[in-house]
Structure 1
Amino acid sequence: MTATYTVREAPWRSRNGLELPDRVPRADREAWEALGLCPDADLFTLFRHHALASPDREALVDDRGTLPYGELHAEVLRVAGLFAEAGLGARDVIALRLPNGRAAVVAELAVYALGAVALPYPLGGGVRDTRTLLTRSRAGGAVLADPEDLAAAAELPLLRAVFTTLPTPPPGVRRLDRAVPGGAFRPAEPPAGATAPARLLVSSGSETEPKMVAYSHQAMAGGRAAYVRALAGFPAAPPRFLVLVPLASSYGSLGVPVALAALGATLVVRERFDAREALRAIADHRPTHVFGVPTMLRRMADLPRRPGEDTSCLRALVSSGAALPASTATACRERFGVPVVTVYGSSDGVNCHTAEPSGETAGTPDPAVAAIRIVRPDGTPADPGEPGEIQARGPMTPLCYVGAPELDARYRTSAGWVRSGDLGALDADGRLRVLGRLRNVVIRGGLTLSPAEVEHELGTDPRIAEAVCVPVQDEEFGERLCACVRPAPGAPRPTLEAVTAHLRTRGLERRKFPEYLLVLDRMPLGPTGKVCRRTLAAWAVDALGAATPVGATVHVNRRAEHVTHAREEAH
């Protein structure tokens, strides 16, 4: 059934006809504003305040060096002038696909200076993402760094201007490093309303095709900034954030619109993730917080200490994008001596974080970010401790899904609550426990298994650095569960028998045990740095094959493309 929404005002409409309504009731937005949870300012105005107040403070540290706020502000106005010269304006969506670095930062802030809407999306998804996302968003402009993306963009009739960072652009494509004829660009004051759309967040597409979610300036500078401000602890000096994930990802949105525009922090980035380079960045640039997905943090923790290594600048490591295994949290705390903050969240507007060492809960929801409730299948509120769907609504809640009213109908209630699709429970003290995905399940002979539940228990095994469970097709039962693991450094390669023995000690029911074990030297990563489940499932299919018996441990060295099998007793 399609929900009926009470929207705040007429939908924002782009020059190319994209409509972005606000799916949260007007009364809720006004209540958050009255409480001071949503600032009455756009992102560029907030950024300009920091640049004018502290022009010499470090804004960005990338592979090319350091850029103070004053110089970054000047660069932003130059690129905004290029956009305006090309005919782009406040009612345009401008797509950005660039590696981490100053070009990506400058281009996104220039979009906000123009009063337009930014659509950053990570590298690595192929030209299909460019065609799909730019078409569905009805983008009027784009900044692209890949020749194949530029060729795909040339086929899109709605694009009026395409820029690139390549030194020799193809015909019809403009260079981003040109000077602006006629002097500096003068933004409107303000360039956009606080309630107008600012950025379209793109989901990672780990389960389905990527979704786009529209966030207002208020939601980014209010609710989304509130969680970052809370974990930074309101330091006396502006914090310094080392962001390891792509700035163009949903998780990476804490970089430009939050760290730079809303908070006036220093942002440290590298073009691509390398664990040794990340450790070197900590030593050289002294970040207070490191943001990464569990795989990144584990790879850093697994590296031996360098002579004279000093990580005393750190206050916390922040993990999001995937569930944090207990063994990874322990390894990080022992390696760096600081808390590991786990953030449960999504591009859809769900957020909760905690620094509890046990990792048993996702923390207590912060109403300044997003209130959370648990709902039964019939839509009624669940009792404390009772499992149900996690739903969220608050100052961080986005406007709507982009160009997809069917997604709004499926994932938003008429009262503006976001349906997360996750299973969870709130205990008597209001702490959230995430129990797994409602949709990410394995059906074995009619029995529904949660990969997340098994992964959580495997994550408590110190012999395992990473664990992901995927389904494999089976003629008899339809699907069986395959655990894919990477051993911890120095640990012996695990066997299925050893893995199931550990699960047994954790109290997991026997019927939920994995029936295959894939032992890998590395995990496949997607564009956002998270483990790519689809690739991993394909690896499992290739490695197991039709003749592999149930109960087997399969050792795979992807670099050598070498596969060995070890037969074990089926449990």
Structure 2
Amino acid sequence: MNDTARALGDCRTLWDLVDRRAGLTPDRPVLLQEDRTLTFRELRDRAERVAAGLYGMGVRPGTVVAWQLPTRVETALLSFALARLGAVQSPVIPFYRDREAGFALRESKAEFFAVPGEWRGFDHTEMARRLGAKGVFEAYDDLPDGDPAVLPPPPADGTDVRWIYWTSGTTSDPKGVLHTDRSLIAGGSCLGHALRPAPEDVGSIAFPYAHIGGPDYLVMVLLYGFPAVLFEKFALPDALAEYRRHGVTIAGGSTAFYSMFLAEQRKQPGEKVIPTLRLLAGGGAPKPPELYHEVVREMRVQLTHGYGMTEVPMITMGAPDDTPENLATNEGRPPDAMEVRIVDGEVRLRGEAVCRGYLDPEQSAAAFDEDGFLRTGDLGRLTDSGHLVLTGRLKDVIIRKGENISAQEIEDLLHRHPAVGDVAVIGLPDAEAGERVCAVVEQPPGAGVLTLAAVTSYLRAEGLSVHKLPERLEVVDALPRNETLRKVLKYRLRERFAGATPGP
């Protein structure tokens, strides 16, 4: 971390960080989107005018404001305006519909709800009215505006809960995760410390800004003083023109993003798909070791993968100068400010970037152990060098005849098979064995027919123990994924195949 980033990392609030960065590099760009450029000074000044407009609407320090907005300059302005006021923000992923959005509004007791109007064929304003939301206003092209002279002083304490983020809710109702300005600053500081961006870098946000990764990334941008390109809609190959146009040097998002970039690179081997790109970075889902080697070899860029969650936006991150072996096989090392403890195989965490708990007090009580460490539900181990290796989820362990089987171990091996594009390994109920191992495979274009016999023969040759071999294979056109970081939704696969006739 450079001296400037280290000094800014001591900022108590997000608004203090915005203000101090604007004073240091006022005319440097911070946000780029299509033909638009916003400088650090413009970010501060325009956000303050939006804050005054919100103040005129009745938003005060502590007012809960939910917003369900796409990744746009206006979204960042609104969010920083709310940070200037000291309001409590509840970002909602823009792809969420009545069930998830309604739950977030009810549980957060939001007094205002900012929506984009009709966006990508869906009327968010109508949904908000249908849900009985309070204080609905549209914030797409036009934002509230006012005279900053009316504003109260900015918040001074960064340890108050001012953010309610929502877990994905893939197996049950989402959990409202409580964050402070300081926990978000700590997360972004950890990310920057690992990636070591320079002022001449150009980053990118191709995932929903309403995801916990949004402020995580922008905090890094503010600490290190470089710009980021915003993508309201990310789809390849269409988005490649914007990456090239702005000279993006750091891209990524999650494992699915790496695979998509790699697929585009394979269409033009020998010519870099993004000429300026030097680093792919992300997290959010396991990374097969083979994918790391393929990206580095074929795209001629570095790939660093990390580990984070809504509750702790940055836990560990691979560093660009780490060894290829570490970058391929683990999630990197935690920063000094993050304590990692392995208890009965489970990863537990303590540090400033850890959330304050959940909206539901009972969920909060169950989430932390007696020493104040967050129970992540992830399984892992620390190497002698301090790198974290994730081996699966507590809920993703398949128990077959009393033996624990890691789904991730099988997935990593199958990902190397040429007829496998992506794979999810799940446990399905079995009257005799308890659970049986099922591999669900998404094949790459042009791949030949894949059979269970071929899969088990391959895994045997790779040295997998016999009791871990899949007993069932399902081939699907596409694995079901969420709309944020494109994580595979295994619960949908379990629902689909639990009672279905086995495939080949």
TM-score bucket (shorter structure)? 0.7 to 0.9
SS at match of 1:302: helix
Equivalent residues in 2 for 1:111-510 (5 A)? 111-145=82-116, 149-154=124-129, 160-165=134-139, 177=142, 180=145, 183-184=147-148, 187-221=151-185, 223-235=186-198, 237=199, 239-256=201-218, 258-303=219-264, 304-305=267-268, 309=272, 311-349=274-312, 351-354=315-318, 356-358=323-325, 359-368=328-337, 370-376=338-344, 388-401=345-358, 403-474=359-430, 477=433, 479-510=435-466
Query: How many residue pairs align between the two structures?
Result: 486
Question: What CA distance in whole angstroms lies between the structure 1 residues aligned with 2:418 and 2:311?
Answer: 33
Distance 1:179 1:229, change over 3 A: closer
Distance 1:365 1:255, change over 3 A: closer
2:29 equivalent to 1:68? no
Per-residue CA shift, 1:302-333, capped at 9, x if unaligned?
12128965634223111311001123222221
Alpha carbons 1:42, 1:192 under 8 Å: kept: yes
Alpha carbons 2:348, 2:373 under 8 Å: kept: yes
- The one-letter code of the counterpart of 2:324 is P
SS at match of 2:384: coil
Question: What CA distance in whole angstroms lies between the structure 2 residues aligned with 1:178 and 1:215?
Answer: 25
- The one-letter code of the counterpart of 2:55 is A
- The one-letter code of the counterpart of 1:375 is V
Distance 1:438 1:262, change over 3 A: same
Distance 1:48 1:306, change over 3 A: farther
* Distance apart, 1:38 and its partner CA: 6.0
> Which stretch shows the higher mean deviation, 306-315 or 139-148?
306-315
* Distance apart, 1:395 and its partner CA: 2.5
* Distance apart, 1:139 and its partner CA: 1.8
Question: What CA distance in whole angstroms lies between the structure 2 residues aligned with 1:179 and 1:199?
Answer: 21
Per-residue CA shift, 1:240-296, capped at 9, x if unaligned?
21122211112333234x144444331212112212134333211122211311112
Per-residue CA shift, 1:382-413, capped at 9, x if unaligned?
xxxxxx11111122122222x21112111112
Question: What CA distance in whole angstroms lies between the structure 2 residues aligned with 1:491 and 1:129?
Answer: 38
* Distance apart, 1:51 and its partner CA: 2.7
SS at match of 1:253: helix
Question: What CA distance in whole angstroms lies between the structure 1 residues aligned with 2:145 and 2:7?
Answer: 38
Tell me the residue number matched to 1:24: none
- The one-letter code of the counterpart of 2:202 is R
> Which stretch shows the higher mean deviation, 347-356 or 434-443?
347-356
2:81 equivalent to 1:81? no
Tell me the residue number matched to 1:532: 489
Question: What CA distance in whole angstroms lies between the structure 1 residues aligned with 2:81 and 2:405?
Answer: 47
Question: What CA distance in whole angstroms lies between the structure 2 residues aligned with 1:103 and 1:293?
Answer: 24
Tell me the residue number matched to 1:101: 72
* Distance apart, 1:141 and its partner CA: 1.6
CA-based RMSD: 2.8
TM-score relative to the length of structure 1: 0.78
* Distance apart, 1:438 and its partner CA: 0.9
TM-score relative to the length of structure 2: 0.87
Per-residue CA shift, 1:465-498, capped at 9, x if unaligned?
3111233444554543321222345543433222
* Distance apart, 1:375 and its partner CA: 1.2
* Distance apart, 1:185 and its partner CA: 5.6
Tell me the residue number matched to 2:3: none
Alpha carbons 1:524, 1:532 under 8 Å: kept: yes
Question: What CA distance in whole angstroms lies between the structure 1 residues aligned with 2:449 and 2:318?
Answer: 32
- The one-letter code of the counterpart of 1:144 is V
Distance 1:115 1:479, change over 3 A: same
Question: What CA distance in whole angstroms lies between the structure 2 residues aligned with 1:530 and 1:430?
Answer: 27
Q: Which 5+ residue runs of structure 2 have no aligned equivalent?
A: 1-5
> Which stretch shows the higher mean deviation, 464-473 or 507-516?
464-473
> Which stretch shows the higher mean deviation, 447-456 or 294-303?
447-456
> Which stretch shows the higher mean deviation, 338-347 or 471-480?
471-480
